[in-house]
Structure 1
Amino acid sequence: MASNRIGRINEEIQRELASLLRTIKDPRVHGLVSITNVDTTNDLRYAKVYVSVLDKSDVKDVIRGLKSAGGYLRRELGRNLSLRYTPELVFQEDTSIDKGTHILKLLNDIEQKESGGHHD
């Protein structure tokens, strides 16, 4: 029951943060920035926010900009969501897309070796 509630809260936070991204004035937060996932602790004290940035060279700057805007984002979340506690936001780069791409490349390499390497 509680995990279902946390799941809904994660979705709400993700949706709110996605819309709030456009209101951040920090110049470091630019380009195509996406909130890919939110993982809130059971006590609602912390929310790990996974961020994906199209231009990988900007990731560190974007994360710094988001951390700098963290107070503003948390205040807006508290205003827009009716939670007893507004969690502390912890921003982290989402590398799952890169990992998925890497695994796909490895699988393709194996497939090409198997199809082209049989000489009996």
Structure 2
Amino acid sequence: MSRRRSTRQQATGPGRPFQRTDRIGETIRELVAEELERIGDERLDLVTITGADVDGDLARARVYFSALMAAEADELDEVTEALDELRWPLQQVINRNIRARKTPQISFKRDTSIEAGLHIEEVLAGLKLSDDPVPDDPAPNDPATDGGDTGAASTEAEPNPDGA
């Protein structure tokens, strides 16, 4: 007697547009951000939790942070040190609030995408744009812009299909 296997929709099927790891990652991001506000460590005043990536096996979660005002290496080291000190209390909050058999172990990584975007904006703002309109470049083989040449002189190089 054969057993019939149940056919379940995958996590990305209709009605469930996100994978489970995406939902858990967003929950972790929200929990960490709320808990950092509640803790009120002055070293983390201008730190933003930008995202969390969870591995497929739910073993690890990388929590990304941005510290725009911490431009110097010493300030970034302080932010990283503060987050590392708070890793275990934050992990406990995550363990209490995520209903799963296994909760991911968090680690912190600096998100440089915001700084990269700001740098690109600075470079673009620094470019001097001229007020002169750019003339349209003529097409390379356009007979209308060839300076009056009708192309009669170029027939010598083209073979005649009639053989004459």
Which bracket does the TM-score occupy, shorter chain normalised? Answer: 0.7 to 0.9
What is the match of residue 71 of structure 1?
88
Give the TM-score normalised by the residue count of structure 1: 0.81
Q: Could you say what secondary structure the match of 2:109 adopts?
A: strand
8 A contact 1:31–1:53 mirrored in 2: no
Aligned pairs (5 A) from 1:13-92: 13-24=28-39, 29-56=43-70, 57=72, 58-92=75-109
Aligned identity (percent) is 34
Q: Deviations over 1:50-109 (max 9, x none)?
A: 111242142221111111111111111100111222211111111111100111222333
TM norm structure 2: 0.62
Gaps of 5+ in 2: 1-10, 13-17, 134-164
Q: Cα distance, 1:117 vs. partner?
A: 8.3
Pick the structure with more helix per residue: 1
Query: How many corresponding residue pairs?
Result: 116
Q: Distance in 2 between matches of 1:84 and 1:117?
A: 65
User: Structure 1: how far apart are the matches of 2:39 and 2:80?
Assistant: 12
Runs ≥4 residues deviating over 4 A: none
Q: Which has the higher strand share?
A: 1
Are the counterparts in 2 of residues 26 and 69 from structure 1 also a CA contact under 8 Å?
Answer: no
| Residue type of the alignment partner of 1:102 | H
Aligned-residue RMSD, C-alpha: 2.4
Query: Contact 2:29–2:51 (CA<8 Å) still a contact in 1?
Result: yes
**Residue from 119, 124, 133 that aligns with 1:102:** 119
Secondary structure at the aligned position of 2:19 is classed as helix
Contact between 2:44 and 2:82, CA under 8 Å: does it hold in 1?
no
Q: Distance in 2 between matches of 1:52 and 1:65?
A: 13
Whichever residue aligns with residue 42 of structure 1, its letter is G
Please give the alpha-carbon distance, in whole angstroms, between the structure 1 residues aligned to 2:132 and 2:82: 49
- The structure that has the greater radius of gyration is 2
> Higher relative contact order by CA 8 Å / sep ≥ 6: 1 or 2?
1
